[in-house]
Amino acid sequence: MGETTAIQATKSNQTPKSIIHQKYGTNAFYKIEEVREPVQNSCPGLAIPQQGPCLFRCNLQLPELSVTSETFKKKRDAEQNAAQMALEKLGIQPATDSPTSREPWDELIARISFLFSNEFLSSQHLPQHPLIGHFKAAFQRETECGLLPVSVLATYDAKLNNLCKSIKHNVERDPHLIVTLIMKAARLSDSAAISQGKLWIWKQSPYSPDILKALTSQQLSSSEGIWIQAVRIPCSIEKPVEPVTLYISSNGYYMDAIAQKLGLTDNSQILVSRTVGKASSEMRLYFSVLELPVPSDSSLEDLLDAKEVVTDGSFNERASYFSSQNIYGDAILASIGYTWKFPELFHEDVSLGTYYRMLIGRLPNGGYKLSREAILVAELPVAFTSRSNWRGSFPSDLLAMFCRQHWLSEPVYSTISITDPVDPFSVTSQASKKLKVTKPVEEETKYANGGSRDANDKESITLGDSFRCEVKILSKGQDLIIECFPVDSYRKPNDARQNAALKVLSWLNKYLKLDMHVEKLFSSGETHGLSFYPETFSKEFALCRSVHAGQLASALRKCSLLASSCVDQLNITQEQSVCSFKVEGLDSGVFPSTGTLICISYVVSLVRKEEDTKESLESSDEFEFEVGTGAVIPEVEACVTQMSMNQSAHFNTELPPRDFIFAAAGDSAKSMSLLSMGACFLEYSISLLRLMEPLEERMEQALFSPPLSKQRVEFALRHINESCASTLVDFGCGSGSLLDSLLDISTSLEKMVGVDISRKSLSRAAKALHSKLSENSDPAKSSIGIKSALLYDGSITVFDPRLTGFDIGTCLEVIEHMEEDQAHLFGDVVLSSFRPRILIVSTPNYEYNSILQRNDLSNKDEDPDEKMPCKFRNHDHKFEWTREQFNNWASDLAMKHSYSVAISGVGGSADVEPGFASQIAIFRRGPIDVVECSENVDIAHPYEVIWNWSRG
Ligand code: SAH
Ligand code: MG
């Protein structure tokens, strides 16, 4: 061994952190803590200690020791300081003259010498070493010196590979570099020899005859050759990935078969990637070496300084993306090789389906689809409402998988607990306890109050703890890429964690699908509590985005306009107007609503236009999901919300991106050939099997008799009859439950109107009212005096003059579905502009929740924490008010607009704590009324008529 003097050690500009990384890789954990040092209090009377600037301290954990840095203003400095302290403790000097890379270099040479020695092949303790198979194959080809392709050495001897990594950490990214290092070391080895101009290494002197005999005598078990399926990934992203078949004859070498497919003259020109796919997979990418990277006279120093090889045009984005290594030219993806486990050649087919499942599995959405085994139906939901309603892999698992696949560090979570200020006088102690917390105290109080804007609210209700969670995505080198700290707080730490993970996943999904302009995307991310580190971000995700863009941007999903459904007879335009459904079966009157967990069965088929060929791509007998969370493609969601239980429906869509079809079709040759003939569409057939009501409805039905919703209707009815109202407007009528019930009984009403912003609900309301009114169209039989009924699509915070001056207005369980400022706005608009004679507003009483919680009837044997999955009764609620909050809202409003107000309720009693379950305000217009609308006759009519019925 000679040239060790040529080796320059660690470069002087290496930071302590990068030395630690070289040595420990992902076994080094950096944990940043925020430290807020209280400033010396100059004013002793001040209750709340002043806070100093935010500082950071870093704790570095290595397998053998752990150190904690000083405090710094920048996180990065704290990390470097910790790394420096660790190096000092380890006795490693990051100085120029340190010979840290000399030892691995010497070891590398020694390792190569050992691998090409008689000892290696005769050593009994390594009978299964993967290289042995390669040596056998070499001897089969009648070489006595065991000619091996250098990439095989680099790939299958873990020790060589690790030594190369410790000499230069970025060899991992670049198979060319690793090959260069090994060739260089082989030249210096005393037993190995290298070819001139070829990437082969062999033993300088022939192996001993005993060894040759021992290794060649074992006959290969099968005398016939094998065929295996593999996939070719062309260098140009425009060219499609295609299946290839490798044939390996009984005494052939698989590397030769691959060389042939790559159009190479011999196996020395093949480079091999690390494994791709699952951790246990043997799938690797095989590709051609760019040029011979071993100028024989270059020193190791030059090699170490060599930039990663970059060649324009020949960079294979898709293959590089799969392996996170630089791959050039066409590549073959195959699962074949000698392993520790199998003494014979291991091989498995890799189909196009495998490739596409792997490809889409790298998108957060695709990963979710795969976890649900519903590629053509499932979508990554936009919200994690509760563990019991979530189906498929959990967001935190999806995110961890995403990071692993993209060669990033595991996500780092930190959850903080937000304690309620139970007693306003204990603020001081509360505040000082919170020094470790990142956000100023006032802000937290706001969240803790469930979004209450009134920070001075003297309410002393115990809401229990709630939690916020932050998640960080870091590169393998521990550089920050994304931080996400959503403002929302949750009752359970796990919910906070899952939602934080989901925020990141949803954003990444949008980013990778190219749904939006990049700048818009980043700013939308920032409004959702995400922050980005642009430099590291673009470094880690550029390739990812361009590969998925190239693959996915091709086709945009659109529904085809096909057969009309019964809904059209009512002249209702669908919310998803691009798609229409054919619903079959009797209407059972039981509809899914937001928050309902439903179970469907479905079949998705690929249908060839013009011809009668149909091939099932995907199906499920039982597929559960929560309505309203975006857990399925929009067409399925739109369809099921139009269906009642036990009904079936069909609709067609244009083809989604090919990747999804190929992934779903798996290895179905028939589907593939159908597709290649062109002009196909997808046909969806869905049956609604079961539905499980959301918690609020379940509780209202089970805990109150009659059910709370019925009590609200009866309450409204009493006021209608007492006031002899003939006109009624229901603000936020939803699916028309109130209007529908009023048609069952005799009232003084002649005209009823409903307004809502949900088309879905409105079309259901229209359906129900239409059939009831037409059934009762014989006035002799009917006790109903209704002469006209109308449904409008519009927001009740916007004034429409057609709804002025009604006798009675109702707004049941609606305001809590709006943001609080919108609820205030509604109050002003309705009492100042619509000005009904009577207005009835109901909303949940927050204080009553403790009783509901105690009696919660959902799955008693489940995790007790699951019982009340969110702090409100329904996930769609933006707030729930206490009695005092509701009283304040109602009395301020009444005063402002000259109404009187009385507070009442249903469920429970006013005199028994904690009051009614549903609190109700009844506003009455004052005697002096100013009517101001007449002058603006041609004022705009912002509401859209959805359905209009009149008698006769
Ligand atoms: N009043 C109905 C529905 C209550 S659910 C019942 O008692 O059954 C709440 C309804 O309020 C939903 O249908 C929702 O679409 C509607 N809503 C929320 N914000 C609205 C707004 N700004 N304008 C009109 N409707 C609204
Ligand atoms: Mg509600």
Residue 122 tokens, joined: 């005769």
Residue 615 tokens, joined: 């091939």
What is the distance between the alpha carbons of residues 99 and 323, in angstroms, rounded to a whole number?
32
HEC profile of 193-219? EECCCCCEEEECCCCCHHHHHHHHHCC
Q: Which residues contact 540 (CB under 8 A, 6 or more apart)?
A: 406, 408, 475, 481
Q: Considering every ligand atom, which ligand is closest to the CA of 734? A: 1
* Three-state secondary-structure class, residue 942: coil
Residue 50 CB neighbour total at 10 angstroms: 11
Ligand 1 atom nearest 818 alpha carbon:
19
Reported residue count of the chain is 952
- Tell which residue, 309, 255, 263, 7, has the closest CA to residue 131: 255
Ligand 1 atom nearest 758 alpha carbon:
15
Q: What is the pLDDT of residue 462?
A: 40
Beta strands per DSSP E along 113-269: 148-149, 192-194, 200-203, 226-233, 242-248
Q: Considering every ligand atom, which ligand is closest to the CA of 814? A: 1
Helices (H) and strands (E) in the chain, counts: 31, 29
What separation in Å is there between the alpha carbon of 813 and the centre of ligand 2?
Answer: 5
What is the distance between the alpha carbons of residues 32 and 478, in angstroms, rounded to a whole number?
11
Instruction: Calculate the alpha carbon distances from 567 to 15, 135, 580 in Å.
Output: 68, 72, 9
Phi, psi of 940 (to 5 degrees): -60, 150
Nearest CA to ligand 1 atom 22: 795
Residue 732 tokens, joined: 């936020």
* Three-state secondary-structure class, residue 484: strand
The answer to whether the CB of 277 falls within 8 A of the CB of 355 is no
255-264 burial string, b = 16+ CB within 10 Å, else e? bbbbbebbeb
Q: Considering every ligand atom, which ligand is closest to the CA of 872? A: 2
Sheet (strand 582-584) strand order: 582-584, 648-653, 680-692, 597-608, 614-626
Q: What is the pLDDT of residue 678?
A: 67
Nearest CA to ligand 1 atom 21: 795
Nearest CA to ligand 1 atom 13: 734
What separation in Å is there between the alpha carbon of 733 and the centre of ligand 2?
Answer: 12
Nearest CA to ligand 1 atom 7: 812
Nearest CA to ligand 1 atom 15: 758
Total-model pTM: 0.66
What separation in Å is there between the alpha carbon of 818 and the centre of ligand 1?
Answer: 9
Q: What is the pLDDT of residue 143?
A: 75
* Three-state secondary-structure class, residue 651: strand
- Tell which residue, 306, 331, 494, 351, has the closest CA to residue 870: 494
Q: Considering every ligand atom, which ligand is closest to the CA of 873? A: 2
Q: Considering every ligand atom, which ligand is closest to the CA of 811? A: 1
Question: Can you tell me which residue has the tokens 């359906």?
Answer: 767
Q: Which residues pair with 337 in a beta bridge?
A: 346
Spell out which residues line ligand 1, taking CB within 6 angstroms.
732-734, 737-738, 755-758, 761, 795-797, 812-814, 817-818
What is the distance between the alpha carbons of residues 504 and 502, in angstroms, rounded to a whole number?
5
Nearest CA to ligand 1 atom 23: 795
Give the dihedral of Cα atoms 437, 440, 445, 451; nearest 10 deg: -110
What is the distance between the alpha carbons of residues 207 and 213, in angstroms, rounded to a whole number?
10
Q: What is the pLDDT of residue 357?
A: 92
Residues surrounding ion ligand 2 at CB below 5 Å: 813
Rg for the chain (alpha carbons), in Å?
35
Ligand 1 atom nearest 811 alpha carbon:
1
Nearest CA to ligand 1 atom 12: 734
Q: Which residues contact 771 (CB under 8 A, 6 or more apart)?
A: none
Ligand 1 atom nearest 817 alpha carbon:
18
Q: What is the pLDDT of residue 365?
A: 93
Task: Indicate the residue type of 522.
Answer: F
Residue 880 CB neighbour total at 10 angstroms: 21
Ligand 1 atom nearest 795 alpha carbon:
23
- Tell which residue, 923, 784, 914, 779, has the closest CA to residue 842: 923
The answer to whether the CB of 773 falls within 8 A of the CB of 930 is no
Q: What is the pLDDT of residue 330?
A: 95
Name the burial class of residue 895, with classes exposed (0-12), middle (13-18) and buried (19+) by CB atoms within 10 angstroms of its CB: exposed
- Tell which residue, 622, 632, 626, has the closest CA to residue 385: 626
What separation in Å is there between the alpha carbon of 592 and the centre of ligand 2?
Answer: 15
From 712, 814, 841, 877, give the residue whose CB has the most ligand 1 atoms within 8 Å, as the site to mutate.
Answer: 814
Q: What is the pLDDT of residue 193?
A: 85
Ligand 1 atom nearest 826 alpha carbon:
22
What separation in Å is there between the alpha carbon of 686 and the centre of ligand 1?
Answer: 28
From 641, 757, 811, 834, give the residue whose CB has the most ligand 1 atoms within 8 Å, as the site to mutate.
Answer: 757
The answer to whether the CB of 274 falls within 8 A of the CB of 266 is no
What is the distance between the alpha carbons of residues 111 and 156, in angstroms, rounded to a whole number?
13
Point out the residues of the chain with pLDDT beneath 70: 1-13, 37-52, 93-102, 123-127, 218-223, 291-312, 419-464, 514-516, 550-579, 667-672, 676-678, 695, 776-784, 855-870, 928-939, 952
What separation in Å is there between the alpha carbon of 814 and the centre of ligand 1?
Answer: 5
What is the distance between the alpha carbons of residues 8 and 265, in angstroms, rounded to a whole number?
37
What separation in Å is there between the alpha carbon of 732 and the centre of ligand 1?
Answer: 4
Q: What is the pLDDT of residue 347?
A: 92
Taken in order 577, 583, 586, 592, the sign of the CA dihedral is: negative
What is the distance between the alpha carbons of residues 4 and 104, in angstroms, rounded to a whole number?
11
Q: What is the pLDDT of residue 14?
A: 76
The answer to whether the CB of 487 falls within 8 A of the CB of 447 is yes
Q: Considering every ligand atom, which ligand is closest to the CA of 757? A: 1
Task: Indicate the residue type of 880.
Answer: E
From 693, 735, 752, 817, give the residue whose CB has the most ligand 1 atoms within 8 Å, as the site to mutate.
Answer: 817
What separation in Å is there between the alpha carbon of 722 and the centre of ligand 2?
Answer: 26
Residue 550 tokens, joined: 């190239």
What is the distance between the alpha carbons of residues 254 and 272, in angstroms, rounded to a whole number?
13
Name the burial class of residue 237, with classes exposed (0-12), middle (13-18) and buried (19+) by CB atoms within 10 angstroms of its CB: middle
Question: Can you tell me which residue has the tokens 């954003």?
Answer: 507
What separation in Å is there between the alpha carbon of 450 and the centre of ligand 1?
Answer: 20
Nearest CA to ligand 1 atom 17: 732
What separation in Å is there between the alpha carbon of 489 and the centre of ligand 2?
Answer: 20
Nearest CA to ligand 1 atom 16: 732
What is the distance between the alpha carbons of residues 887 and 889, in angstroms, rounded to a whole number?
5
Q: Considering every ligand atom, which ligand is closest to the CA of 918? A: 2
Phi, psi of 454 (to 5 degrees): -90, 100
- Tell which residue, 731, 745, 751, has the closest CA to residue 807: 751
- Tell which residue, 173, 177, 166, 161, has the closest CA to residue 27: 166
Q: Which residues contact 697 (CB under 8 A, 6 or more apart)?
A: 593, 709
